[in-house]
Amino acid sequence: MSHFSQIKTQIRNLESLQDALTDLGIDWKQGPREVRGYRGQTHAAEITIEQDNGYDVGFKWNGKEYELVADLQYWQQDLSVEGFLRQVTQRYAYNTVVKESTRAGFQVAEQQQNQDGSIRLVVQRWSA
């Protein structure tokens, strides 16, 4: 019986996910790689985050989005699973908005980190 949990996300762009993890200072490895779990079980993933306890956290493409894959019994991150996903999702959204805005010809004019943890972005585009 597998001990792995697969948690759905709204994350669909690998590059923005990688940027989000890097922004958060998380040491990740690009796959495909095996996420290590209970009793030597493994699960294939596109991104692997190794933990000091020998059990990994990963992100796996399910054909629609990247799911968080981990044996949650051995979770060893600074935040809870929910807190971790909340931070990753926020940085993912930030990176996606900035990339898509830049592609559309916009520039970030202002950026503000609010006390509640939200980020306020102002983008602008000059037309001739």
In tens, the pLDDT along 52-65 reads: 999 999 999 999 99
Residue pair 50/43 in contact by the 8 Å Cβ criterion: no
Query: What is the domain partition of the chain in residue ranges?
Result: 5-124
Sequential pLDDT tens for the chain (128 residues): 568 899 999 999 999 999 999 999 999 999 899 999 888 889 999 999 999 999 999 999 999 999 999 998 899 988 999 999 999 999 999 999 999 999 989 998 898 988 888 888 888 988 76
What pLDDT, in 10s, does the model give residues 28-49? 999 899 999 888 889 999 999 9
CA separation for the pair 103, 9 (Å, rounded):
24
CA separation for the pair 3, 73 (Å, rounded):
8
Q: What is the pTM of this model?
A: 0.86
CA separation for the pair 68, 5 (Å, rounded):
8
